[in-house]
Amino acid sequence: MPRSIDGRLFGCTQNAVAMVWKKTLARLEISDLHWHDLRHEGITLLFTKGLSPIEASSISGHKSFVMLKRYVHLRAANLLAKIG
């Protein structure tokens, strides 16, 4: 996604994104979800789709497997399905 000249990724300020996030959580009555939780979910989905650690780290930007591993939350049901 190209950035605009002013460096804004979403075409608005960080504060505007934060306000929409907070209003959305309040409207949905969600009390314990943080913006950063989306990174955990996204990286976990990369592994669920079958990406290798090297492929996932090239997308996430993690330089070490140890840090990448902290973001991955594999589901027991998916692991069981793989081993039969």
State how far the alpha carbon of 58 is from the alpha carbons of 21, 35, 54, 61, 65, in Å: 27, 21, 6, 5, 11
Q: Are residues 49 and 75 in the same domain?
A: yes
Q: What is the pTM of this model?
A: 0.64
Range of the domain at 74: 36-83
Q: Are residues 66 and 78 in the same domain?
A: yes
Q: Is the pLDDT of residue 70 over 90?
A: no
Q: What are phi and psi of 35, to 5 degrees?
A: -55, -40
Q: Are residues 44 and 22 in the same domain?
A: no
Q: List, for residues 15-59, the tens digit of each pLDDT value.
A: 888 999 999 999 999 999 998 888 888 998 998 888 999 999 999
Q: What is the number of domains present in the chain?
A: 2
Query: CA–CA separation, 58 vs 40, rounded Å?
Result: 15
State how far the alpha carbon of 71 is from the alpha carbons of 17, 48, 64, 77, in Å: 23, 13, 12, 18
Q: Are residues 76 and 59 in the same domain?
A: yes
Q: Are residues 25 and 47 in the same domain?
A: no
pLDDT confidence of residue 31: 92
pLDDT confidence of residue 25: 96
pLDDT confidence of residue 3: 60
pLDDT confidence of residue 24: 96
CB atoms within 10 A of CB 25: 15
